Every structure is written in C-alpha cells, then in structure tokens.
C-alpha cells in the first residue's frame, strides 16, 4: 500500500486551508456585512489577502507568483467565500482574467502582465459579455480593426466584475466579422489606455462589495503585441478559460454554502423553543443533515474537477460545468435552508444568512447560467467524452 492519503487532501493542501482560514477569520469575515451594506470594494480584504499571497495565488512561480495548483486555488477561494463572498471575487476574477494569458499568451506577454498581478500592484478582469451577447457570447459586437502596429477597439462590455478597480482587462473582440466565433481575438487592455472608461456600478441583489460595471472602448489603440495568442483564436481561448474557472465558481459556491451551514449549526444549538434547543427537533436535524450532505457532495465534485483542471484533462469541460452547476444549485438550497433554520431572524440584516442567500444566487448565473452548463454537459455526454475512470468500463450502446 502506498503512503499517499487515498482520496484525501495532501498535508500541503490542508495547510493552505488552515492558513487562509486564519487570515479570513481575522481580516475578511469582519468586513462582510459592511461591504454588503455599503457596496464598497473590500479593500481591507484585498490588503489582507495580498499580504498573505492569497489575492492571485494561482500565478506560477516563474512569474513571481505563489504557484498554487488548481486545487489549492479552489481551497483559497472556498475559504474566502465562506467568510465573505464579495471578497472571494478577488482571487477568482484574478484567475479568470489571467487564464487566457496562461493558456495562450506569449512568454513575453505573461512576463509583462502576470508579474504585476503576482506583486499585487494590479488586478485582472475578464471582458467577454456584452449587452446583447450573454449566453450567446459569440454574438459580440465589439470590433478590433488592425491599423499599422495596433488594433483599434470599439464597443461596450457589460457586467464586468471588478471593472474600474482592476488595472488590466482581457478583452474579446471581433477581428473577422464573416467568421463569427472563429473571427474573435483576445487582447490585454489597460485601465489607463486612452479611450477606456467605465459605467456606474450595477445595483445588485448580492456580492454587493464586488463592483460590476460596463467597460467602454472608444477608439482604444492596442499594440499588436498585446494580442493573446494568434488572431481569430480568442473565442476558443475564452471557452477553455471558462472550463478552468467554472471550477473556481464551484469552490466559491461551496464556501458560501459552508458558511451558511456553519452559522445555522451554531444557531440551532443556541436558540431555544419549547424549552429545548431547536437542534433537538428531528424536523430541523433532517434539514441540517441534508445541508451537510449536499455541501460535502459539492465539495468532492469540485475537488475532482480541480484535479482535472490542474492536469488539463480532456474531460475538464464536463467536470467544470458539472461542478459549477451542482455546487451553485447546492449553495442556493443550503443558504435558503439556513434562513429557514434561523426563522424570522434569518430574514433580517442582523444575521448573515440572508446575505449568504443573496450572494449564492449569482453562482447560478455567471460564467454561464446553469441552463448553459446543462447544455455543455449534455453535449459532452453525447459526444462520448467520459471520465477517465469510466473509460475502462464497458461502453454502453443505445437499445436497438
């Protein structure tokens, strides 16, 4: 028998969890209610995460980063989300914005743009969605037209997380309108580039501390050496990015759900009705049991997907979609049940359960709605992409 902990986290991964939880308990959780109330970017969380190398932990060591693998990055995001969902958008969107560079960028481009993120002198946002191009992202209208040694970008990007706060933006734009998704390219745009501006922050249901704004591109000249990968390969890069980062949204959802479960358990032990703690009532125990069961199932699927992300396995597309969909549906159920466990108190701003319920909702929507995840999963299944484990099983065929 090997010494490897069978189907368990390594000591290193457990140590990452302990370290990030310490930072979050002390410096992130205390701000969660106030950033939700004020809608301000959680600068104190950013400062604390940056100081401990948790703001963009996935950046490889060769670019000055901490070099966290995909599973360790998920654990960081999960623990931050358990404390404050808005703050968890800091490590997760830094990964989303930089993943196109990691997947397709030249070494020179990576050196120029990953090093400042690793050094915490700027964050990265990801600009795919537009007012008329959400689930159908390939319907984007933002144009990039070659002009000498630059591309000139014009258009509007919508729903961009951390826009205005981030220094760097991965922008997807049409370079060949005849070819639809095969005519889209990816660029690095800087906040200070002439012609870049931002809309007012959206007024949202949840993750209120994470600014979401439109990004306006008005004759923005981007040097050709800031194109990520080859011309017209941007859409493939955008989709491959989401395969990896949907796993991080799953981790965020697991963290939000765990935070709600932890709070509900503590409350159920303390709150007395009929002369006994409400935790004594079997009706409530069954609800708590279901919550715990679902959170653990979501966590296991998320970590299995994280392993596939790290190895870049061929079935990552299925696993990323499945983990994101299952974990976000779980987060919505578990946070709603947490409000129920708290009764009337759960419905007020004086307790965190309703905030967690509002925060959970976005995980079912962004990086592709859960309807889109089911489309992605079905397509993968019908194409015969199966998990590596099941590849050894006898192949099923349709009945005659």
Ligand X SMILES: Cc1cc2nc3c(=O)[nH]c(=O)nc-3n(C[C@H](O)[C@H](O)[C@H](O)COP(=O)(O)OP(=O)(O)OC[C@H]3O[C@@H](n4cnc5c(N)ncnc54)[C@H](O)[C@@H]3O)c2cc1C
Residues that bind ligand X (CB under 6 A): 125-129, 134-135, 159-161, 204, 212, 362, 365-369, 371-372, 375
Kindly state the DSSP code that residue 79 receives in the 8-state scheme. H
Q: Nearest-CB residue to ligand X? A: 134
Residues in contact with 310: Cβ distance below 8 Å, sequence separation at least 6, in sequence order: 69, 70, 71
Please say which residue, 69 or 373, places its beta carbon nearer to ligand X: 373
DSSP characters for 236-269? Answer: HHHHHHHHHHHHHHHHHHHHHHHHHHHHHHHHHH
CB-based burial of residue 365 (10 Å sphere; 0-12 exposed, 13-18 middle, 19+ buried)? middle
Tokens of 192: 């200070």
Residue 26: phi and psi, rounded to 5, are -85, -40
CB of 99 to ligand X, least distance (A): 12
Please state the closest distance from residue 93 (CB atom) to ligand X, in A. Answer: 6
What is the smallest separation between the CB atom of 202 and ligand X, expressed in angstroms? 7
Which residue's structure tokens are 């008329």?
Answer: 132
Q: Nearest approach, Cβ of 372 to ligand X (angstroms)?
A: 6
From 78, 214, 354, 367, active-site residue = 367
Rounded distance, CA 158 to CA 212, Å?
8
Cα 244–Cα 175–Cα 130 angle in degrees, nearest 5 = 60
Judging by DSSP bridges, how do beta strands 124-127 and 168-174 pair with one another? parallel
Q: Smaller CB distance to ligand X: residue 159 or 319?
A: 159
Please state the closest distance from residue 163 (CB atom) to ligand X, in A: 8
Judged by CB, which is closer to ligand X: 127, or 257? Answer: 127
Burial class for 130, CB neighbours closer than 10 Å (0-12, 13-18, 19+): buried
- Least distance from C-beta 72 to ligand X, angstroms? 23
Annotated active-site residue 354? The verdict is no
Q: Which is nearer to ligand X, 55 or 372 (CB)?
A: 372
Q: Give 234 or 346: the residue with its C-beta nearer to ligand X.
A: 234
Q: At what angle do helices 282-311 and 234-270 cross, to 10 degrees?
A: 150
For residue 186, give the nearest of 232, 140, 154 by alpha carbon: 232
Whose tokens are 């997807």? That residue is: 172
Select 78 or 367, whichever has its Cβ closest to ligand X.
Answer: 367
Q: Which residues are catalytic?
A: 367
């Amino acid at each position: 028998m090997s010494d490897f902990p069978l189907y368990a986290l390594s000591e290193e991964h457990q140590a990452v969890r302990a370290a990030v939880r310490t930072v979050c308990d002390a410096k992130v959780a205390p701000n969660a209610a106030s950033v939700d109330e004020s809608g301000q970017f959680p600068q104190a969380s950013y400062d604390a995460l940056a100081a401990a190398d948790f703001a963009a932990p996935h950046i490889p060591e060769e670019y000055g980063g901490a070099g966290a693998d995909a599973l360790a990055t998920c654990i960081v995001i999960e623990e931050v989300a358990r404390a404050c969902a808005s703050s968890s958008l800091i490590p997760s969107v830094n990964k989303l914005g930089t993943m196109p560079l990691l997947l397709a960028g030249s070494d020179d481009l990576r050196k120029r743009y990953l090093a400042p993120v690793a050094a915490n002198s700027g964050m990265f946002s990801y600009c795919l969605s537009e007012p008329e191009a959400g689930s159908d992202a390939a319907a984007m209208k933002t144009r990039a037209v070659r002009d000498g040694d630059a591309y000139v970008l014009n258009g509007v990007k919508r729903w961009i997380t951390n826009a205005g706060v981030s220094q760097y933006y991965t922008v997807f734009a049409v370079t060949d309108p005849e070819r639809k998704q095969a005519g889209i390219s990816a660029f690095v745009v800087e906040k200070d580039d002439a012609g870049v501006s931002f809309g007012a922050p959206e007024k949202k249901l949840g993750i209120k501390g994470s600014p979401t704004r439109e990004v306006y591109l008005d004759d923005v000249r981007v040097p050709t050496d800031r194109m990520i990968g080859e011309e017209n390969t941007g859409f493939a890069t955008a989709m491959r990015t989401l395969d990896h980062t949907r796993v991080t949204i799953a981790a965020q959802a697991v963290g939000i759900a765990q935070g709600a479960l932890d709070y509900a358990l503590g409350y159920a032990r303390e709150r007395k009705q009929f002369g006994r703690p409400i935790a004594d009532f079997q009706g409530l125990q069954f609800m708590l049991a279901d919550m715990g069961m679902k959170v653990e199932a979501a966590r296991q699927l998320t970590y299995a997907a994280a392993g596939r992300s790290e190895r870049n396995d061929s079935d990552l597309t299925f696993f990323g979609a499945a983990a994101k969909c299952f974990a976000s549906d779980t987060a919505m159920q578990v946070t709603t049940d947490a409000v129920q466990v708290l009764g009337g108190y759960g419905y007020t701003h004086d307790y965190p359960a309703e905030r967690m319920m509002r925060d959970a909702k976005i995980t079912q929507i962004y990086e592709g709605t859960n309807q889109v995840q089911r489309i992605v999963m079905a397509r993968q299944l019908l194409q015969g992409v199966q998990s590596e484990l099941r590849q050894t099983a006898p192949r099923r065929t349709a009945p005659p």
